[in-house]
Structure 1
């Protein structure tokens, strides 16, 4: 029998809602777990463990944020200034520490600033600095038994790694068993020229360890035109070991609306429930006909 891929939800889309509220809402909707936004200072690990344990959930991953919420908090792993790079490495280490304490499997890493597609020096120089920085962070992550997953983001938002192929190449250059990659369907629809299912199969199960999902409109799965059954079939074909983590936004809303808590809870929950139920049906169909 094929493994059923768990479906989680990323808590950054809930904005400033307290963690207890997020856990309660996610449980009521039927999610298997949550992904936590990578802001270690705002959490108390004992509280997290108590909450998810009481509600029967798990924390699948820590979603690193690049840059941070405060002005000047760049978290730029490819920055030309060594001090800035060390700050970014320390940030990844803090996320790893949090992941270890709450039994999360991985930490998301973006090698360049999100929303700022320009380069600090040149693409080659920036990539080399990112490789060196992530390698240092990976040595720490390996000691903790936590995986780092590099996320490729579309060319309009970042300047270094955009496709799964780009990201596998960077991970290979880093050369650590604790550095793998992840995909995000919203970004992949732009960057994967031969389609998301083909890109997933080409990268394979060793490299692809985490997935973020939203439809082509960035709404919940099933509200747009993405070939979800084929995407899920590709994940099953490569014996994907991770989870599906939802981070959609209601129509007309931007990430900044979510982070600032400007999305009505009833609308967000209605869309999330729709997307979750849709993905479950699609996965059931794939599993029913998989040899």
Structure 2
């Protein structure tokens, strides 16, 4: 039975250079990195050099919605056509980067993160998101890169909250290269029958990527998340993706991470603890399978 590889999302390191992140991640023992979706800040040859140097790989590009400023919202459901075109082109640029560095997928969010309001109505925003992702999906298919729709809890987005929502959207998009993913922090809020059951309902076809943090958003093992059952569910569906860690120390928010306000020693210690816990739980699952 193959071991599921474990990665870490580099957005939690803030503005730390990729070289330094790779060095720290390698020492901790991760298999690789999920790269923050800002294609303009990376040179693919340099990314490949760094990954080779530290024996790592990039498994996914973490699309960022909205963008860094008000004139670049990256909203696939925007009521303004030009803004939707901008968002589609942004996803295409993430696909290009994924192709160049050997990643298998690009995360997308159909609406704006941190802004649960709608541009128009839920029906109209949904329809525009589907149309945008149909276009982006055709480009992803041509490049053989998956787009994975990430459901985010209802307090942070306006459209896709749950795995069921994401699968519904995937079916309307109707492209084998547009699938879904999960994030345990958001899933604990939205999946009423529990995270393991949500994974099994999605199954091998739809469920292509997983973000993990404990129920407190800390590293796995520092809360009450049922990691053994979550990992068992992944094996039950013959999961083909990776596990990508994006925990935050207690009391810290994503904005602290993005602005570099988390001490390196604390972040690395928590990541080491989380990786150890996930690998121990995975070993138990494999032995009992």
Name the TM-score, length of structure 2 as normaliser: 0.99
CA distance in 2 between counterparts of 1:289 and 1:144 reads 38
Query: Equivalent residue for 1:173?
Result: 172
Is 1:289 aligned to residue 288 of structure 2? yes
Query: Equivalent residue for 1:38?
Result: 37
Query: Offset at 1:69?
Result: 1.3
What secondary structure, in the 3-state scheme, does the structure 2 residue paired with 1:73 have?
A: coil
Query: Equivalent residue for 2:242?
Result: 243
What secondary structure, in the 3-state scheme, does the structure 1 residue paired with 2:274 have?
A: helix
Query: Equivalent residue for 2:75?
Result: 76
Query: Offset at 1:70?
Result: 2.1
CA distance in 2 between counterparts of 1:73 and 1:263 reads 27
Please show how residues 221-232 of structure 1 align to structure 2 within 5 Å. 221-232=220-231
What secondary structure, in the 3-state scheme, does the structure 1 residue paired with 2:113 have?
A: coil
Give a deviation string over 1:73-130, Cα, whole Å, max 9, x none: 1000000110000000000000001001001100000000000001111111100000
Give a deviation string over 1:1-58, Cα, whole Å, max 9, x none: x221000000000001000000000000000010000000000100100110121110
Query: Equivalent residue for 1:131?
Result: 130
Query: Offset at 1:147?
Result: 0.7
Query: Equivalent residue for 1:48?
Result: 47
CA distance in 1 between counterparts of 2:42 and 2:17 reads 11
Query: Equivalent residue for 2:88?
Result: 89
Query: Equivalent residue for 1:215?
Result: 214
Superposition misfits of 4+ residues, deviation over 4 angstroms? none
Please show how residues 155-174 of structure 1 align to structure 2 within 5 Å. 155-174=154-173
Query: Equivalent residue for 1:148?
Result: 147
What secondary structure, in the 3-state scheme, does the structure 2 residue paired with 1:8 have?
A: strand
CA distance in 2 between counterparts of 1:113 and 1:220 reads 25
Q: CA RMSD in A?
A: 0.5
Query: Equivalent residue for 1:184?
Result: 183
Query: Offset at 1:72?
Result: 2.2
CA distance in 1 between counterparts of 2:182 and 2:72 reads 25
CA distance in 1 between counterparts of 2:170 and 2:246 reads 24
Query: Offset at 1:274?
Result: 0.2
Query: Equivalent residue for 1:108?
Result: 107
What secondary structure, in the 3-state scheme, does the structure 2 residue paired with 1:35 have?
A: strand
CA distance in 1 between counterparts of 2:23 and 2:234 reads 29
Flag structure 1 segments of 5+ consecutive residues without an equivalent.
none
Contact kept, 8 Å, 2:72 with 2:83, in 1: the verdict is: no
Name the TM-score, length of structure 1 as normaliser: 0.99
Query: Equivalent residue for 1:17?
Result: 16
What secondary structure, in the 3-state scheme, does the structure 2 residue paired with 1:9 have?
A: strand
Query: Equivalent residue for 2:203?
Result: 204
What secondary structure, in the 3-state scheme, does the structure 2 residue paired with 1:200 have?
A: helix
Contact kept, 8 Å, 2:44 with 2:101, in 1: the verdict is: yes
